[in-house]
A and B are shown apart, each in its own frame.
Chain A
Amino acid sequence: MKKAFIIGIDGVPHSLLSTYIENGIMPNLKKILSQGLALHQINASIPDISSVSWTSFNTGVNPGEHGIYGFTDLKPDSYSLYFPNSKDIDAPTFWEILGKTDQKTSTLVQKYHKKISHPYRSTIFNVPHTYPALPMNGILVSGFVAIDLKKAIFPESAYTYLNSINYLIDVEAEKAKEDKMVFMKSLFECFEIRKKAISHFFKEESWDLFFACITETDRLHHFFFDASNDKENPYHEFFIRFYMELDKFIKILYERFVQRYSGKGFFMVLSDHGFAPVKKEVYINRFLEEKGFLFLKNEGNFYERVENKTKAFSLDPCRIYIHGKDIYPRGTVRKEEKTALLEEMKKILRGLKGENGDEVIDKIFEKEEIYHGPHTRMAPDLVCLPKDGYDLKGSLEKKEIFGYNIFKGMHTWHDAFCIIPENISFSQKPSIDNLTEYMIQYYSQ
């Protein structure tokens, strides 16, 4: 009998978690780590956006295979923006692989398909980018961005319970603008409902694998990350209290799991990206405009505004696409010009400096360096990762390169974490999509 329990905690950095474990804010996690589990720093997906990172974990493959590069994507023929959802994922998730309901293929499936002896049943709870809920072997409740609760639940019968507890898919982040204190309280309320629902499905349903995500941490960080280590900050106490409650909840779940399966199961906790305080937002499209790569007309929505002479534009957070003649109706960049253009852009991006002359861009990748698989063709031509503190954005409306917003935290690529059985060791720092295989291996032994 194989049982696995996975807790996803959105946006929790390895560095912050280590600090909180050391200085006694998370004593239960410290104790758990002395019972055969180990904490590692891992890399998020590129870009380090929840929908991409969780999809990479869920499928165990890179975006070049699963096809998700962000919360938004572009239809090249019309320049219109769309929101990819669960139906756009082109690789099977681990619950589809283990449940033997996978209809797609991927490198991971090819490797393990024959080694999974019988179908395993999963409960997948509040995992981002699983909306709309697709039929699977078990129960699935979609997480961010889920719109209509009925479409976020499979099977339909699970709706009655969730509706009865006034289940919330997400906090209303819009409210943070109006009243931060009210928003802070709603984070705790939302976490309560989440805990209640997770406990219910844990107890009342049968499953071989349980995967639940807590997304409140990501929201907490976006609006209050400056409170994480600053005792003077008015929200510091709340921030710490949230982590203490999180610590308690992980303990409860861990103990129940160990008790039920007498310590024989596979237990794992992980985050999809890290967080760092924001110094400034950086509007890459404005930068491209000023450097003469991007020209926008006034008519049209979003990227419909891209004009003929445009050589490149960027989608959130910093996915840069060459305006190629072969792909876009108004594109003018010819294939043979691409290499030189990419080199020129890399040079200019490296030269982007902050107020004190410090570098803004940390790493620049060409798509072939980081993506492989059938979807590489539609991948951004360049992806940049910033130095911590500079939050790269794809807005088309800005008149300055640098700016401020209400956000206090930004995602980081290099500082996600995982807690996994200590007998698993890595020869190099793992990426989030590397972890999935260990779990599948457990079921194939």
Chain B
Amino acid sequence: MDHLTRLENKSIYIIREAYYQFKNIAMLWSVGKDSTTLLWLCRKAFFGHLPFPIIHIDTSYKFLEMYQFRDERAKEWNLNLLIAKNEEKLKGGMGPGQGSKLDCCNELKTNALKSVIKKYHLKAILLGIRRDEHGIRAKERYFSPRDSQFKWDYENQPAELWDQYQSMVEEEEHFRIHPILHFTEFDIWNYVKREELPIVPLYFSKNGKRFRSIGCVPCCSPIDSNAQTIDEIVEEIRISKTSERSGRAQDKENIYTMQKLRALGYM
């Protein structure tokens, strides 16, 4: 069995296990390459007929291309797509220009997700995070319990040895399930290539720049790149050493700290 098939099998096993254990689950789809890969794997796991809804947390600040891609795929793949928005905060003018980016992210993403979990009584959420994305992710489990406050007690997690997963849930808790945790960025692109997966065009180079990671417009910046095809991206990733998220204001605390220090002339 080749490397990508092995990765795929493991993911499909976890997706099926999650559905079997929890039934009332959903998948979080950011429309980026990772969660689109996860969506593809979910479709494979259930032979094209997804037995659970797909949630898109819409901050309303996403790229136009992302909305377009989302709606086209939803139609083509016949998805039960739930769009979650923090309408109240958006009406109040919440956005990256107002207050801190941390507050914006917290309100428009985290709190929107909290209310959708509550509304649909979801027991588990499938997410497309990968272990190589960021230092803190190294501590993630495939089955990762969160309490009602969304807290992740990473010092007190079940061990996951020999593919034995703790997938029982306490009241008031929900599980985050990470079926593609073992994929690297390099694997994702190779998999996208092998499966001929459609992908948001923002990942391809335009005028010498492309996005390596996409999210909200104000918090993303493109990298210098001439990669216009999947093959060229694969080659670029193979030789690249900088972190994928270096173009993204995703390390929220660091960005906020930097802002604070800058404002006082300390950086």
Contacts and interface: CB of A to CB of B under 8 A. Distances in A.
Interface of A: 49, 71-72, 82-83, 144-145, 147-148, 170, 172-174, 176-177, 219, 222, 281, 299-301, 304, 316, 391, 393-395, 405, 407
A145 B266 CA distance: 12
A144 B266 contact: no
B257 interface: yes
Contact of A316 (B242, B252, B266): B266
Nearest to B151: A150
Nearest to B106: A148
A403 to B, nearest CB: 11
Given A83-B254, A300-B242, A301-B246, A145 B265 contact: no
A280 to B, nearest CB: 13
30 contacts: A71-B261, A72-B266, A72-B267, A83-B254, A83-B257, A83-B261, A144-B260, A145-B257, A145-B260, A145-B261, A147-B252, A148-B102, A148-B253, A173-B260, A173-B263, A173-B264, A174-B263, A176-B263, A177-B263, A222-B264, A222-B265, A281-B265, A299-B224, A300-B242, A301-B246, A304-B242, A316-B267, A393-B265, A395-B267, A405-B265
A147 B266 contact: no
B228 interface: no
B213 interface: no
Contacts of B264: 173, 219, 222
B108 to A, nearest CB: 16
B267 A170 contact: no
A44 B267 CA distance: 20
Nearest to A409: B265
A170 B260 CA distance: 9
Interface string B236-267: 00000010001000001110111111011111
Given A83-B261, A145-B261, A300-B242, 17 more contacts: A71-B261, A71-B267, A72-B261, A72-B266, A83-B258, A145-B257, A147-B256, A148-B253, A173-B264, A174-B259, A174-B263, A219-B264, A222-B264, A281-B265, A393-B265, A394-B267, A407-B265
A214 to B, nearest CB: 16
Interface residues of B, number: 18
Contacts of B257: 83, 145, 147
Nearest to A218: B264
Contacts of B224: 299
Nearest to A82: B254
Contacts of B258: 83
Interface string B207-250: 00000000000000000100000000000000000100010000
B226 to A, nearest CB: 14
A132 to B, nearest CB: 10
Interface string B174-193: 00000000000000000000
Contacts of A82: 254
Nearest to B243: A80
Contacts of B266: 49, 71-72, 316
B242 A147 contact: no
B146 to A, nearest CB: 15
Among B254, B256, B259, B261, chain A packs the most CB atoms within 10 A around the CB of: B261
Among B102, B256, B259, B260, chain A packs the most CB atoms within 10 A around the CB of: B260
A147 B253 contact: yes
B145 to A, nearest CB: 19
A301 B102 CA distance: 21
A174 B265 CA distance: 10
Contacts of B256: 147
Nearest to B266: A71
Nearest to B149: A150
A274 to B, nearest CB: 16
Nearest to B259: A174
B93 to A, nearest CB: 17
A148 B256 CA distance: 10
Interface string B82-116: 00000000000000000000100000000000000
A75 to B, nearest CB: 11
Contacts of A391: 265
Contacts of A147: 102, 252-253, 256-257
A301 B221 CA distance: 13
Contacts of A281: 265
A301 B241 CA distance: 13
Nearest to A132: B253
Contacts of A393: 265
B256 to A, nearest CB: 5
Contacts of B253: 147-148
B136 to A, nearest CB: 13
A68 B257 CA distance: 16
Contacts of A407: 265
A170 B258 CA distance: 14
A175 B52 CA distance: 46
A314 B224 CA distance: 27
A177 B259 CA distance: 13
Contacts of B261: 71-72, 83, 145
A393 B264 CA distance: 12
A299 B263 CA distance: 24
Contacts of B259: 174
Contacts of A177: 263
A71 B266 CA distance: 8
Nearest to B260: A145
Among A144, A173, A177, A304, chain B packs the most CB atoms within 10 A around the CB of: A173
Task: List the 5 closest A-B pairs by CB distance, nearest first.
Answer: A173-B263, A174-B263, A147-B253, A83-B257, A147-B256
Contacts of A176: 263
A174 B246 CA distance: 23
Contacts of B265: 222, 281, 391, 393, 405, 407
Contacts of A173: 260, 263-264
A5 to B, nearest CB: 28
A410 to B, nearest CB: 9
A443 to B, nearest CB: 32
Contacts of A83: 254, 257-258, 261
A176 B263 CA distance: 8
B82 to A, nearest CB: 28
A282 B136 CA distance: 37
A435 to B, nearest CB: 24
